[in-house]
Structure 1
Amino acid sequence: MARQDAPLFLHGFDLSGNFTDLRPLGTGVTGLVLSAHDQRSGQKVAIKKLLMRDAVSVKHALREVKITRRLHHENVVRVYEVLAPHGHPLPQDPRQLSALYIIQECMETDLARLLEQGPLPTGHATLLFYQLLRGLKFIHSANVLHRDLKPANIFINTDQLLLKIGDFGLARIVDPHYSHKVNPVKFNCLY
């Protein structure tokens, strides 16, 4: 397909030809998520493009990569690889890149979409809640705080009733040697 004929969501999406059947899954503050077929592995994957516009977005993108690379658990979305533009491996110093691409496991739906269809049967809800707690226990044992846990970041394959926690864009690594003192927030009660 010629560049000018590409769907709008693909403009600026700069990866090699290893990925086909690209379809939009969602957008967020940090970038775009597409589903794709990885021709190398034969798997359906999700590709999260993290834009690196300034020093702050670079810091956030690199932190998300660092966190996702250290989390390997059956209830956490699996990251297969992280690529630079054109499908190249990440350089030693990725701070000069315009974007990063996180190639990860593609899940069927998220909890928000599932709940839009109506209440879950009690047995299904119990199993999913158990998996959510297992995933959170693992994440916390790895000294990571997700900080954005919501139904849209809880992914599910309904045929297996398999739940996985994803989207670590706001996550933080808890360093026991660092003070994590919370600064008081001023607010107006009348707002």
Structure 2
Amino acid sequence: MAEQDTPLFLHGFDLSSHFVDPRPLGTGVTGLVLSAVDQRTGQCVAIKKLVMRDAVTVKHALREVKITRRLHHENVVRVHEVLAPYGRPLPRDPTQLSALYIVQECMETDLARLLEQGPLPTGHATLLFYQLLRGLKFIHSANVLHRDLKPANIFINMDQLLLKIGDFGLARIVDPHYSHKGYLSEGLVTKWYCSPRLLLSPNNYTKAIDMWAAGCILAEMLTGRMLFAGTSAVCHAV
């Protein structure tokens, strides 16, 4: 079978044919995500495609790869490998590539889908929130801000009630000993989980924005409703 005839290629993924049975999972903040079976291991994996069209998308893709490669924790989605088109290893200089592929573990569901069924039992919410805080503590200890923490980016295996934080497309590495005032991007956190500090000072924030989002998520797990469900940032602020 020609490479262009594989199911992955038909989804716009030019990867090796040892990834089979592709199925759309959703769209991350920076790219399309498919599930597939890696025939080398028999594992189901999630594959995220990062398109690199210009200097900005190249910068964002390489930053996401750098961040995901440095985060190894049981409450963070594990990355197995990062590939160039056609399943090739990344070259020393990947800036000329048209796309990158992040191959990571595939989780059963995400918290957003789980909350569509209503609030969680208190015991389940407590266990999941504990794992969320463990994952955040590790991420922050690596000097990384997630910047888009929300139920859709929190993944769960239901049989173990195992929680993992994923989708680092908007994450940023920061130096805790250096002021980043004026150098951090605006308007990143989804508005329902956005802290007042980020609304009032969008270019100057810390890991506290992730902690605020975590608190909003806890309230949503317990009540089944968004804590701040305004239709705009202005409604959210007031």
TM-score over 0.5 for the pair: yes
Equivalent AA in structure 2 for residue 100 of structure 1: L
1:164 alignment partner in structure 2: 164
Deviation of 1:27 (Å): 1.5
1:15 alignment partner in structure 2: 15
Compare the two structures and name the one with the higher strand fraction: 1
1:104 alignment partner in structure 2: 104
2:46 alignment partner in structure 1: 46
Q: Give me the whole-angstrom Cα distance separating, in 2, the residues matched to 1:160 and 1:6.
A: 32
Q: Give me the whole-angstrom Cα distance separating, in 1, the residues matched to 2:177 and 2:123.
A: 42
Please show how residues 30-179 of structure 1 align to structure 2 within 5 Å.
30-176=30-176, 178-179=178-179
Gaps of 5+ in 1: none
Q: Deviation digits for residues 58-77 of structure 1, max 9, x if unmatched?
A: 00000000000000000000
Q: Give me the whole-angstrom Cα distance separating, in 1, the residues matched to 2:95 and 2:138.
A: 29
Give the length in aligned residue pairs: 187
Deviation of 1:5 (Å): 8.9
Identity %: 85
Deviation of 1:176 (Å): 4.0
Q: Give me the whole-angstrom Cα distance separating, in 2, the residues matched to 1:72 and 1:11.
A: 29
Equivalent AA in structure 2 for residue 170 of structure 1: L
Residues 5 and 156 of structure 1, relative CA distance in 2, 3 Å threshold: closer
Q: Deviation digits for residues 109-129 of structure 1, max 9, x if unmatched?
A: 110000001111111110000
2:193 alignment partner in structure 1: none
Say yes or no: does 1:181 pair with 2:181. yes
1:24 alignment partner in structure 2: 24
Q: Give me the whole-angstrom Cα distance separating, in 1, the residues matched to 2:176 and 2:134.
A: 23
**SS of equivalent to 1:104:** strand
Deviation of 1:30 (Å): 1.9
Relative contact order higher in (CA < 8 Å, ≥ 6 apart): 1
Gaps of 5+ in 2: 184-200, 203-233
**SS of equivalent to 1:169:** coil
